[in-house]
Structure 1
């Protein structure tokens, strides 16, 4: 009887502790995001994240052993949310044109500058200073998300196969990464590009992405 009562007391306490840990983890991710949006990855320090949350720097490292691990976790959250948004669009019934799908993908990235900026840092920065376990957990979730989206892409564009749908997702990743880097330019370069003859170097992220995906899909359909 006493043992049963003790167990009932322990379970809620553990649940509360788990909730507290998740709440603190979320607080750290939110702080990292706010700092990143205000500056850049290179300028954000773990001490800044600690100060913004009112936590000791050592506490931050208990949750995320490196800055890269912290931002990879943030990217994980943002990537999951974007896949869910895109899947919601792709869940509409009917066969689409390639241009319609390309436009839908580009529109799903509107307001997602933080996500696309971090995505551009994934391979070259964020995955360079994390553990194998952290990298694998991230890649596993990406793989699952890709499978769901691949099936929806095939439903909208019947000429896609499982292989070409996966190829399309990887190419979209490459296009988003490249175009985001080209669109996010330094203030001095932005001033230079206002010159009339520099127009060919200006990048409209949404328009360029839509055109590139449309062209890619035409090539896949012609195979």
Structure 2
């Protein structure tokens, strides 16, 4: 594959233009699940590990219409999930956990899951993860995704876009600040450093013009 992506047999250079669209088809379902895990696997490990099973359950429970995706050629290179009308990009239920992992380990996994629960307020669009594939970062794809998120929020009459960023991801925070997000509150969770890889989570918001 060299330095470019392959799209229909044509090598795409690293700076090939990406386009953003709402939702994705079955051909991108696995790639979306893998991208989601690669971005958030450290936080999800205690709930969904091992990796292969975690990706499988994410793939089964993805809601394609709750994602904006960035495509270069026919490859999915970025993803922005969101929660809207009571549905999020990844909707894993208690039944899903028990079916995948059995009764013995499910209570422990579900207890960890409660630590990541977030509920959107009526006036806001709540982000459910934004990620760009590692080899495509630095080409403005994250900004493209967020611009479309703001448009989507406006289309649905939302006044605010909200997201969380952890203390171990300063690059993401810098992007969010450049895109107009401001810090609302920071929650210190030092007991999660060893288990989930972060010790603080900051809630950030941007008003929809």
The normalised TM-score by structure 1 is 0.29
**Greater strand proportion:** 2
Larger Rg: 1
TM-score (normalised: structure 2): 0.30
In proportion to residue count, which structure has more helix? 1
